[in-house]
Structure 1
């Protein structure tokens, strides 16, 4: 197997939708995801991918911003690796690649949210040096 990490071009963003769908367990339709990602690519967003030869097997969205408490930062979003590729050190390599990549953009901090019901991911990120400074709250607005 030959793995590579690279930024997915904005015009190819739809290639990540099957992995996003798996991550969200189908809670959001593919049609809605397509519409949202057509908006997302015009914001301060990039997406990194893990490739096994030409096959996309992992992703991490990256939202770039400046925050009063952390300075110039990137928030990782929808981090996902296909089940068959987990527990082989690939996630750690991916996070190291992302860290090196965002350093080239003078980012001072990396942030992310992890689902409460996924304690394995909590251990993974804590082993990489991430801290839990607070809780993420969400209030959906009915339109």
Structure 2
């Protein structure tokens, strides 16, 4: 199955809200998600829309920054693909799009976080050539 990948224009960024709601188990209100996504779109954030038959079936956020240890890099964030489209190699296609897009923006490094309990994603990213370099700690204030 071949999907289509395109950067979602900032003027259309709110169409990612349903996917973020799924990712967060609907624990964050739609109003707060909208507020945050609009703010994100003014920062170094871009989002890939994944489409099949002109229907949005997934998203992949990207944060661009320069890291002292890596130089210019992209951090992949909140990858969500509708459940009935999983296992069809769309993730492989998505990551190839990310790699090519990041290279076009002169990035040298792709990094990401994944939830510790999301074992299928760990296997996927290891198969993509990612290595675990550390732990991502958080503390709510």
Q: State the secondary structure of the residue aligned to 2:106.
A: coil
Unaligned 5+ segments in structure 2 are none
1:115 maps to what in 2? 115
| TM-score computed with the length of structure 1 as normaliser | 0.96
| TM-score computed with the length of structure 2 as normaliser | 0.97
1:36 is the counterpart of 2:36: yes
- Encode CA deviations 1:109-139: one digit per residue, 9 max, x unaligned: 0010000110110000000000100000111
Paired residues of 1:2 and 1:53 also in contact (CA < 8 A)? no
1:14 maps to what in 2? 14
| CA displacement at 1:2 relative to structure 2 | 6.0
2:78 maps to what in 1? 78
| CA displacement at 1:53 relative to structure 2 | 2.2
Q: CA RMSD in A?
A: 1.0
1:104 maps to what in 2? 104
Q: State the secondary structure of the residue aligned to 1:63.
A: strand
Q: Distance in 2 between matches of 1:36 and 1:117?
A: 25
Unaligned 5+ segments in structure 1 are none
- Encode CA deviations 1:2-29: one digit per residue, 9 max, x unaligned: 6210000001011010011111111211
Count of aligned positions: 141
Paired residues of 2:2 and 2:90 also in contact (CA < 8 A)? no
1:51 maps to what in 2? 51
Q: Distance in 2 between matches of 1:77 and 1:69?
A: 19
- Encode CA deviations 1:34-64: one digit per residue, 9 max, x unaligned: 0001100000010011101221111110000
Q: State the secondary structure of the residue aligned to 1:121.
A: helix
1:3 maps to what in 2? 3
Q: Distance in 2 between matches of 1:53 and 1:43?
A: 30
